[in-house]
Amino acid sequence: MRHRPLGRTGLTVSELGFGCASWWGKPAFEERQALGLVHRAIDLGVTFFDTGASYSAGEAEPRLGRALKGRDASRLVIATKAGTYHAGGGRIARDVSPAAVVASAERSLKNLGLDALGLLQLHGPAAAELTDELLRALEDLKARGLVRALGVNSFDPALIERVVALPEFDVVMVDYNVLRPEREPLIARAAAAGKGVLAGMALAMGHTRPLLSRLKGPQDLWYAARALARHRGELARGRGFGFLHRQPGISGSQAALAYVLANPDVSCAVFGATRLAHLEENAAASGLTLPQPLMAQIRAAQARLT
Ligand SMILES: NC(=O)c1ccc[n+]([C@@H]2O[C@H](COP(=O)([O-])OP(=O)(O)OC[C@H]3O[C@@H](n4cnc5c(N)ncnc54)[C@H](OP(=O)(O)O)[C@@H]3O)[C@@H](O)[C@H]2O)c1
């Protein structure tokens, strides 16, 4: 597994990160398997793990905490998010007030069993919520040694643009994958400003393959329902990328990850997986170079995106 610097934080992360979210964190997904995936990821050299206070209806963080029990977490960068929380009944609520963000970070430390968070990110804040008071509260968490780096996770390019100009933030997490080449200028500006850049949804949620061909287990039904409810645009964009999965010597997921990692401004491509074979296949994408004709084919398919 190769590693990259996380912007100017002084932290180094594996170039592939494991997302502890969605189906991975749900009680319906067997605990033994979920923990086994984290342990295998560590064995494969993954040092960056991404979760959030509201992920998997609040179940993902404590589950990651259980996975880390007895492991040497000092070599790992554990990232979580604040600003959203599970409000019961599957409802996610927002509270980006300074008091709520600080309380969330303190709860996250307990859930994860850590003395310090590697990275605390605000989860989809609005520009108006980035008040001086909030920025001071975040810096105070850093000064208290509870957080090593601060970031913002947002899929709103205008918001990320604003964050890039704020010196208090070290990292941005954007939706960057083979279906989102339009993020590249923004990523370049973030990196030029010294921010660590995390690519969330690095596999485009699997939407480069037809939905029906992916339905094999309960997790696939869950991801399909989420896609139909919230990501129809990504599903449509993915239709022109089936060729990724018909290449010799490289799987479609490896090609998708290698595409993200071909961008030197990306510190880490974060993917989710609930199958061990997927995790192992993805980890093997570290260090792969996309053949030039395949990159040209990707660029041609991207040019056809509306
Ligand atoms: N999605 C969001 O809105 C969002 C927002 C902020 C941050 N993030 C971060 O980004 C991480 C990744 O996002 P995500 O999980 O939504 O999407 P993703 O990683 O782009 O895609 C996950 C899907 O890809 C499948 N997959 C993984 N490896 C595969 C392989 N080798 N072959 C075939 N299928 C494979 C998974 O299937 P299996 O489960 O069967 O392995 C799952 O259905 C999250 O865990 C989170 O940490 C996501």
Question: Residue 306 pLDDT > 80, yes or no?
Answer: no
Segment 132-144 shows an average pLDDT of 98
Q: What percent of the chain has pLDDT over 90?
A: 88
Q: How far is the CA of 97 from the centre of ligand 1 (A)?
A: 29
Question: Taking all residues of the chain, what is their mean pLDDT, rounded to a whole number?
Answer: 95
The pLDDT score that the predictor gives to residue 117 is 98
The pair of three-digit structure tokens given for residue 123, joined into one six-digit string: 């989860």
Average pLDDT, integer, range 246-253: 95
| Ligand 1 centroid distance, CA of 135 (Å) | 30
Q: Which two tokens stand for residue 126?
A: 């609005």
The CATH number given to whatever domain includes residue 235 is: 3.20.20.100
Which pLDDT score, from 0 to 100, does residue 65 have? 98
Number of domains making up the chain: 1
Residue 129 has pLDDT above 90, yes or no: yes
Helices 31-43 and 276-283 cross at an angle (nearest 10°) of 20
Tokens 């053949």 belong to residue:
291
| Average pLDDT of span 252-277 | 97
Report pLDDT for 213.
84
pLDDT at 114 over 90: yes
Assess whether the C-beta atom of 17 lies below 6 angstroms from ligand 1.
no
Residue of higher predicted confidence among 121 and 213 = 121
Tokens of 202: 């690095």
Residue 152: domain span = 3-303
Report the distance separating Cα 213 and Cα 42, nearest Å: 30
Alpha-carbon torsion (23, 258, 198, 156), positive or negative: negative
pLDDT digits (tens, 9 = 90+) for 51-104: 999 999 999 999 999 999 999 999 999 999 999 999 988 889 999 999 999 999
Is the CB–ligand 1 distance for residue 206 below 6 Å?
Answer: yes
Mean pLDDT of 286-292: 95
Report the helix count and the strand count for the chain, using DSSP H and E: 11, 12
Residue 229 has pLDDT above 80, yes or no: yes
Cβ of 281 below 6 Å from ligand 1: yes
- What 65-72 contacts at long range (C-beta under 8 Å, 24+ apart), as own/partner pairs, is 65/111, 65/112, 65/113, 65/114, 66/31, 66/35, 67/20, 67/34, 67/35, 67/38, 67/39, 68/38, 68/112, 68/113, 68/114, 69/113, 71/39, 71/42
- Of 203, 232, 267, which is best to mutate to test ligand 1, by the most ligand atoms within 8 angstroms of its C-beta? 203
Q: Are 60 and 37 contacting, i.e. CB atoms less than 8 angstroms apart?
A: no
- 171: exposed, middle or buried (C-beta count within 10 Å: 0-12, 13-18, 19+)? buried
* φ and ψ at residue 82, rounded to 5 degrees: -135, 160
Residue closest to 80 by CA, chosen among 114, 117, 110: 117
Report how far ligand 1's centroid is from the alpha carbon of 98 (Å): 30
Mutate to test the pocket of ligand 1, among 30, 237, 275 (most ligand atoms within 8 A of CB): 275
Q: What is the pLDDT of residues 12-61, one digit of tens each?
A: 999 999 999 999 999 999 999 999 999 999 999 999 999 999 999 999 99
Predicted confidence at residue 192, as pLDDT, reads 98
**Which atom of ligand 1 approaches the CA of 273 most closely?**
41
Taking alpha carbons only, the member of 41, 36, 46 closest to residue 1 is 46
Q: Is the pLDDT of residue 269 over 80?
A: yes
Note the pLDDT tens digit of each residue in 173-226: 999 999 999 999 999 999 999 999 999 999 998 888 888 888 888 988 988 888
